[in-house]
Amino acid sequence: MTSDTILSFQYKLLDWYGSNARVLPWRDNPSPYRVWISEIMLQQTRVEAVIPYFERFLAEVPTVRDLAALPEDRLMKLWQGMGYYSRARNLKRAACILTEQYNGELPSDRKALQALPGIGPYPSGAIASIAFGAAEPAVDGNVLRVLARITGNRQDLKDRQTRKELEDLAVK
């Protein structure tokens, strides 16, 4: 795939997004904290289910420092019903680290983000690109399927080498 083809596809995709993007509460103010909370909540959970949790969570826990200071029992109550409680515990652990080491701010560097509990390759790419405007990919299963289709790659997407090849395309 040539650079011109990739660039053309990127512009078409951005145009489509501009016309079709859903209105979501974390998009109206994509601060690093809001993007981080939304990305963690959206893991293994449908968007429609996350919206009321996100709004309630941000109303009560509007900053990293507030999250770091939040008692665990209150955190679990706010998270109740979303499942995967390790996500909430990792949020709190990461908030404590951010408060102690980063003055309550999320770092813009993808590698520094990935060093925090609960932030893997996809959320770090999403946070870096959405909140900080960095040219970083956020590659999940959906993105891998799209990349495989547009490149004609019929290899198994569970294969590590295939995933790596497609992820490398997303960086271009």
Provide the annotated active-site residues.
39
- pTM, rounded to two decimals: 0.88
Q: How high is the pLDDT of residue 172?
A: 63
pLDDT at 58 over 80: yes
Span 33-56, average pLDDT: 96
Per residue in 61-120, pLDDT (tens digit) is 999 999 999 999 999 999 999 999 999 999 999 999 999 999 999 999 999 999 999 999
Span 4-15, average pLDDT: 85
Q: How high is the pLDDT of residue 1?
A: 67
Phi first, then psi: give them for residue 83, nearest 5 degrees. Answer: 75, -175
Q: How high is the pLDDT of residue 46?
A: 93
Span 6-13, average pLDDT: 84
The three state secondary structure string of 112-146 is HHHCCCCCCHHHHHHHHHHHHCCCCCCCCHHHHHH
pLDDT at 18 over 80: yes
Which amino acid appears at position 121 of this protein?
P
Of 94 and 2, more confident: 94
